[in-house]
Amino acid sequence: MDLKQLIQQYLQEAKLMQVATSMENQPWICSVWFAADEDLNIYWLSSTKRRHSAEVIENRKVAAAMALPQNPQDPPRGLQIQGEAELLTNKIDIDKALSVYSGRIFSTEKINEFMSSSENPHRFYRIKPTQFVLYDAIHFPGNARQEYIL
């Protein structure tokens, strides 16, 4: 089983992830809708007024997780991710985020509405993963924990 292909499959199947940030030795976690590109970069759209958005600016090191089964009787599958996050400011990066995010989570019109809000502006963020830990009791029943380092 090719781990990169399996990770890409997970990233296509899941839509909600938890992002953990940290400032001054105090962790914080939140849930965000995400999309990923072919290079395993992960994008999300979030209000610039949220705590996690402010913390990414100060400390780029993040962790993220997504679980695929939503029923306890299903075999466990999920991803844990370590990497660096950033607010996207370059038009090329924003256009890339929009291309993978639009239609998967929200329509382009809804995204533009979020981004142009004067009261609660949203921006795209990206995680460039450095490590994935995949837990998959279906594909790897004897050793469900697999690591993929970029």
**In the prediction, which pLDDT does 76 show?**
87
First to last CA, the chain: 17
Q: Tell me, what's the pLDDT at 70?
A: 73
Which residues are within 8 A (CB) of 23 and not within 5 positions of it... i.e. 6 or more apart? 55, 58, 59
Residues near 134 by beta carbon (within 8 Å), at least 6 away in sequence: 3, 6, 7, 10, 78, 79, 145, 146, 147, 148
Q: How many helices, marked H, and strands, marked E, lie in the chain? A: 4, 7
- Integer CA distances (angstroms), 127 to 63, 88, 131, in order: 9, 10, 11
Tokens 């790897």 locate to 140
3-state secondary structure at position 65: strand
Average per-residue pLDDT in the chain?
95
Q: What is the pLDDT of residues 74-129, one digit of tens each?
A: 888 999 999 999 999 999 999 999 999 999 999 999 999 999 999 999 999 999 99
How do the domains of the chain map onto residue ranges? Answer: 3-149
CA distance 19 to 29: 5
- 3-149 domain in CATH 1.10.10.10? no
